[in-house]
Structure 1
Amino acid sequence: MTLTPDENNRTQPASGAVSPQLVQVIAYHQRTKHRLERYAAGPETLDWSAQPNPFREFSGAPRVMLPLVADQLTASFAALHIPGAIAPQPFTLDHVAAMLELAFGLSAWKEYGPDRWAVRCNPSSGNLHPTEAYIISRDIPDLDDGVYHYLSRDHTLEQRCHIAAAPVNQPGLLVGISSITWREAWKYGERAFRYCQLDTGHAIGALRYAAATLGWHVRIADTVSHHQLTQWLGLDRDADFTHAEREEAELLLEITAAPDTEATIDWLLAATRNNWCGQANILDHHPMYRWPVIAEVAAASRKSVTLPSTYRPTMSAAKSSCTITAATLIRQRRSAQHFEPRYVQDVDSFYTMLAALLPDSGTPWDVWNETPRVHPVLFVHRIDGLAPGIYALPRSTKAQAQMQATMRADFLWQKPAGCPEQLPLYLLEVANLGKALKAISCHQAIATDSTFTLAMLAEFDATLQDASWRYRQLYWEAGLLGQVLYLQAEAATLRGTGIGCYFDDTCHDLLGLQDTTFQSMYHFTVGYPLTDHRIASLPPYPRT
């Protein structure tokens, strides 16, 4: 691959030239692959009593205590997938609070012996939660115009600055996402940047589902650069982060009352931010390791100002019969720790889950304004009516042709009998993959005790050829797929969990992938959960 960047940090073919950013991104990806003979570089020991503080806060910043009102939202999970089924609610402090609670708030406290930890509505690798959420508000009653950090531990907003902007007579609400990479690096070492990006993808999905409970829509502000977002969120303010771990700006999302609402981000470009306040807390006073390659790949994958995406698929309603309220389902989501290895999943719920992964299936895919570049390959263990084996779910016609040309020549590519016509699911090989898949998944039993596991294959070379910053987007798309599976599994009275630890190229070998046309970015598994009743579950907030 010979690529060179243009003025917008896009990488274009050029004779004898390769983008330095692209070189660093590809080198990082190869370097951080787990292999059978060795794992990616990480800490040699962990002191759990010295785990970094999972909550970022800004001392000295004025706080707005948010009401806990998500219980008042009665829309069912099925209604989230029907266009127009939920009337858009007005932009009020109560409704903003409900969205933040369901997207990024705590869902419970857990206790086991002397240990106590929080779980959140948005999942995270190792429950380490590198993702931080900010809002930028304008003309919302009972909330001053400004930039706020959301402190999930207390369900409060910390006002970082005031915003002065020309009046436009329309409420504005933006959500900024950042990552504190050290939270993941503390446990996972050099592979942590991957997990931070997956968590960002999960956060996009969590926000989209939460906004849908209010009839709101979400879209990515795809023209915004990393530099702009860093300034707008105050992440470039050295004095506010003295000795504290820095945050890496990821993306900005706009919340609207209707899908065709005119873009309102222009007001922010001309706005003045003043009266900054708040000092970031130190999360780890005695870090034992340093992983400089994380800072290098972060710098190499930062986005510049770009033109807006023109991809707008026609959305259809995804099938769902789940009558549980969406707020209940979102807050009951957990990452499975163990599965019942004899459980057999019914084929209809399996097909419903897969249909929800298609790019035209409505919520949450109406937030994703890029062509689909990530495609599941499924390892089926126990689905009633389906032979165990390897299956593919290409999410575009073009990807199907590329996968067939790139993967093993002896794969069948047959549509299973009884599979819905509109579902592009193909049987590649009948096989019992228990031992092999467990080995590929870093010897974890959850990969084979489940009803099915999947690998998310990304169009790696073609995507990075367009721009090195799209490396992050591949993980975001994979994380968004994972978030859909989390909630769809809960709706089917099952449970899912992401698998970040797998042997990358061993998985590729199983599929016959000989180059980097496709790369597996994330693994996920679904099954019937076994609950450890020794772990006590407590309310997320004392005031509930």
Structure 2
Amino acid sequence: MGRLASSSSSSSCCCFSPRTFTHLRLPSSFRFRVCRAFDSRSIPQAEQNHPSSQAAAMDVMTTYHDETKHGLQRYARGPHGLDWASQPNPFRRYLGARVVPLDHFPPLPPAEGLDPLYPAVFLEPQHPKPLTMASLSQFLYDSLALSAWKTAGRSTWSLRVNPSSGNLQPTEGYVISAPLPGISEHPFVAHYAPKEHALEVRAELPLSLWEELTQGLPEGSFLVGLTSIFWREAWKYGERAFRYCNHDVGHAIGAISVAAAALGWECRLIDDLGTKELEIILGVSEKKPVSTSGTSKGHFPELEQEHADCLILLFPRQVQAQPKNDSGAKSISSISDGQNESSPKVVLSDPFYSSALISRLVGLEWKGKPNALSREHVRWGIIYKVAEAARKPLTNLYKNGALPNSDRLQIDNSYQALSVYKSLTARQVVHKRRSAVDMDGKYGMQKEVFYQILLKAMPSIDPKESQGGQLQIPFRTLPWRAELHMALFVHRVVDLPKGLYFLVRNPSHEKILRESMRSEFDWEKPPGCPTVLPLYMLVAGDCRSLAARLSCHQEIAGDSCFSLGMIAHFNNVIGDQGPWMYPRLFWEAGVLGQLLYLEAHAVGVSATGIGCYFDDSVHEILGLKGKDFQSLYHFTIGVPVVDTRVMSLPAYPGPLVDA
């Protein structure tokens, strides 16, 4: 993801040579205006019904979001050049912790029949594998491990299954599990070291404490935690790094969800826990304070501390097939709705959410000292100020104890164009994924391929799900209803008019979206669009230059088959929940981005996440005013151009030295 990542190898696809494109007939009001410099004094104050502390946090969050927008007149604040001598080490190690090497897997392609094909992971619930050292190794290998090494000239760098802005890899992973033969005789907390594909055992828990923590959970459950090191992204991107770190958390959640599904495991984000409790669970609670004022350069080792992001529960899927309905669709209930006693609802018992219980982890003996990542740093104070404002309190979001979105998983093959996929396993796709650095600007994709990608990008394809419930993999990991939509710039899709389109991912938002956007938009269903896909053409015409200009003048957004901006339902969501929901909107964008990456490679093309775009210019094109909706992430999908100067090497064993 981003412009530092290397391109993927070329793949065959259904392509066509482009015809002459018609000129975009946009109303005169669509011309760009120069964005003014941002003035924090014009930022609206938080609503008065918030407690004073939350109102202050909301003000910090709003100020950060506005001041880190890119505009046609100026970019968000960042370094004027890259200090290569201080480039952060992308590999965190806990020196002194016991290292447990994990199992490796055969080179791709794997032995026939051992791994499910990519579409099957989403459409056919896999038989759950028991939690063992081997299955945990496979899970980490397919979610957070290295996917390749790249070399060009004297430079060598690694790529990972979970993508990252600029390939800077701010996200760290942790495993919390019951005793596993070959890893630990006791329940343990371990840090995942991707370069070695190994676990560093940081702490062991008393068995009685583990049993209290997991009371009421299915047998074979375990936890995965994610943290961020903001400095890794800030080294290149400055103040906008907080956005990109949370994009990367979302990509990691998406990668974890797909890898788990291939093993027959379900994922749920445990979002009742507060930031403080997460820090304790993951062993990153001992911190030195970071100054939140101004920007300074010097030796600030506290910038290398980890920020606790989230905790994910993984557990074996309990599959129960249901009769076909009238349309021939087959519903699959992965977790019972509680009416069938043979497949009980998964619940989290009250002690799991107890702050007093979590605090007992403070007394654990934590092993290992974190390695230094840079010899010099630049502190962007606003990053740590917004991170503090977005800290989540301990809450009781799910008072009935039921995990959200666990009641059903609807599958209807009549909406799926499965023939568009290559014959690739899920593992092949996740390890094949790359970020394209250039698109060819010549070839396009078939309309059926385009619609299939968008169907998979929907949180649900259930016509009865009118409130944005997230039922499809990987979105079902998230406990909230879908808050992101997609503004699409269609350039090269066979038999589909070029122009600006909009995908409404949460039907309950459609009315306010239509009212908030330009009145001259057509809102017409395109030809051949599946009935369950709420895709609309807003205006026809050639959007190539427009898409490139909106994405910081990057041609890759106009040379692709299509590009898009993710538009988040913003003010109401954060206002209702609190400023801690701000990073979660970026997580949702990252999960959606991960799905788009995998879909692109599964059909034989490529993709790139674009974090650099002109925020308010996107809003102006759509006619959006205020902060009811905000653009949070851009993406582009098309036929890549291969950089023949870059050579690929296997992920394991990798080189002894990397630049």
Do both proteins adopt the same fold according to a TM-score greater than 0.5, normalized to the shorter chain? Answer: yes
Partner of 1:93: 133
Q: 2:594 aligns with which of 457, 475, 483?
A: 483
Q: 1:514 aligns with which of 621, 625, 637?
A: 625
Contact 1:165 1:268 in 2 (8 A): no
1:148 aligns with 2:190: yes
1:286 aligns with 2:376: yes
Shift of 1:3: 4.5
1:103 aligns with 2:143: yes
Shift of 1:47: 2.8
Partner of 2:635: 524
- Note the alpha carbon deviations across 1:18-38, whole angstroms, 9 max, x for none: 711100000000000001111
Partner of 2:80: 44
Contact 1:243 1:282 in 2 (8 A): no
Partner of 2:104: 68
Partner of 1:176: 225
Q: For residues 456-475 of structure 1, what are the structure 2 equivalents within 5 Å?
A: 456-466=566-576, 467-475=578-586
Q: TM-score, normalised on structure 1?
A: 0.94
Measure the CA separation in 2 of the matches of 1:17 and 1:163: 35
Q: 2:457 aligns with which of 357, 381, 391?
A: 357
Shift of 1:268: 8.8
Q: Secondary structure at the match of 1:212?
A: helix
Q: For residues 339-350 of structure 1, what are the structure 2 equivalents within 5 Å?
A: 339-350=439-450
1:301 aligns with 2:398: no
- Note the alpha carbon deviations across 1:459-493, whole angstroms, 9 max, x for none: 11111111111101110111111001000000110
Measure the CA separation in 2 of the matches of 1:30 and 1:507: 14
- Note the alpha carbon deviations across 1:316-352, whole angstroms, 9 max, x for none: 2373443311111100000011111011110101000
Partner of 1:250: 309
Measure the CA separation in 1 of the matches of 2:560 and 2:408: 33
Q: Which runs of 4+ in 1 moved over 4 A?
A: 1-4, 14-18, 70-73, 241-244, 263-269
Which of the pair has more CA radius of gyration? 2
Measure the CA separation in 2 of the matches of 1:502 and 1:543: 35
Shift of 1:139: 3.3
Partner of 1:202: 251
Measure the CA separation in 2 of the matches of 1:15 and 1:87: 48
Q: CA RMSD in A?
A: 2.3
Partner of 1:9: none
Partner of 1:188: 237
1:376 aligns with 2:493: no
Q: Secondary structure at the match of 2:180?
A: coil
Partner of 2:200: 158
Measure the CA separation in 2 of the matches of 1:539 and 1:268: 42
- Note the alpha carbon deviations across 1:272-331, whole angstroms, 9 max, x for none: 5422110001111112x2200000000101111122357537432373443311111100
Moved more, 314-323 or 479-488: 314-323
Measure the CA separation in 2 of the matches of 1:425 and 1:46: 41
The one-letter code matched in structure 2 to 1:402 is: I
Contact 2:129 2:263 in 1 (8 A): yes
Contact 1:2 1:17 in 2 (8 A): no
1:455 aligns with 2:560: no
Contact 1:2 1:15 in 2 (8 A): no
Measure the CA separation in 1 of the matches of 2:626 and 2:226: 33
Shift of 1:50: 3.4
Contact 1:184 1:196 in 2 (8 A): yes
Partner of 2:323: none
Q: TM-score, normalised on structure 2?
A: 0.78
The one-letter code matched in structure 2 to 1:451 is: C
Partner of 2:534: 424
Q: Secondary structure at the match of 1:356?
A: helix
Contact 1:131 1:177 in 2 (8 A): yes
Q: 2:276 aligns with which of 194, 212, 227?
A: 227
Contact 1:244 1:283 in 2 (8 A): no
Unpaired runs of 5+ residues, structure 1, are: 5-11
- Note the alpha carbon deviations across 1:31-82, whole angstroms, 9 max, x for none: 0000111110000111335311000001000010001137565111011012
Measure the CA separation in 1 of the matches of 2:453 and 2:596: 7
Shift of 1:205: 0.2
Shift of 1:368: 1.9
The one-letter code matched in structure 2 to 1:180 is: I
Measure the CA separation in 2 of the matches of 1:171 and 1:478: 30
Measure the CA separation in 2 of the matches of 1:206 and 1:363: 11
Identity %: 40
Count of residues in correspondence between the two structures: 534
Q: For residues 406-417 of structure 1, what are the structure 2 equivalents within 5 Å?
A: 406-417=516-527
1:493 aligns with 2:493: no
Q: Secondary structure at the match of 1:348?
A: helix
Measure the CA separation in 1 of the matches of 2:67 and 2:158: 32
1:401 aligns with 2:460: no
Partner of 2:646: 535
Measure the CA separation in 2 of the matches of 1:184 and 1:14: 32
Unpaired runs of 5+ residues, structure 2, are: 1-43, 289-299, 318-333, 336-344, 462-471
1:58 aligns with 2:90: no
Measure the CA separation in 1 of the matches of 2:632 and 2:88: 26
Shift of 1:140: 2.9
